[in-house]
Chain A
């Protein structure tokens, strides 16, 4: 079974540009999460999809970030326009839907560098 995949693995952009990150969850996983880790800091929650619906987007830093999950399959996270403080590793994770806590499976992350 394929794991969570993310694309690209690394992106270097200039301040003010736009970047779109993509996450393909494990097939059949209804829950999809986005996280970000700034170097040396904690892994921070950004948002949670259940199928195509945003369940919780309380962690989104500001309106420069837009996440979508059309059709309840893959998800994209767009940053427009990018700022220096957006640099970090963006992780996507997915889990099955059900009562209680379900194990989250993380992708390898996208390292975003804004210069």
Chain B
């Protein structure tokens, strides 16, 4: 059973546009929600993370929006750039337990 559901599977955005990737979870015990960015030939790298006590976290052009009641969280990439083209994974975790990852979203930003 998949613990974290991610959509869309792929996304094409024009340079300067907003990229939005969504994730949903069921287990209310999760208390840490990271997003990872993966470039071809590299491993996933932590991009930004949020805990459920806040509804939004922003780091530069990257923002996580968190809706605890709906058990959903999303990644927003503002002013998307060709260099943002990568695969993005959401994940969920609680202390003492494993990390559960989404299926990934392949983002292509067209110049």
Contact = CB atoms under 8 A, between A and B. Distances in A.
Most A Cβ at <10 Å: residue of B2, B42, B98: B98
Interface string B18-43: 00000000000000100010000111
Interface residues of B, number: 23
Contacts of A103: 46
B43 A106 contact: yes
B101 A56 contact: no
Contacts of A104: 46, 99
Contact of B98 (A37, A48, A91, A100): A48
B45 interface: yes
A101 B93 contact: yes
B43 A42 contact: no
A106 B45 CA distance: 7
A13 to B, nearest CB: 21
Given A56-B98, A101-B95, A42 B103 contact: yes
Interface in A2-43: 4, 33, 35, 37, 40-43
Interface string B78-111: 0000000000010101010011111110000000
B11 interface: no
A45 B43 contact: no
Contact of B43 (A41, A48, A58, A109): A109
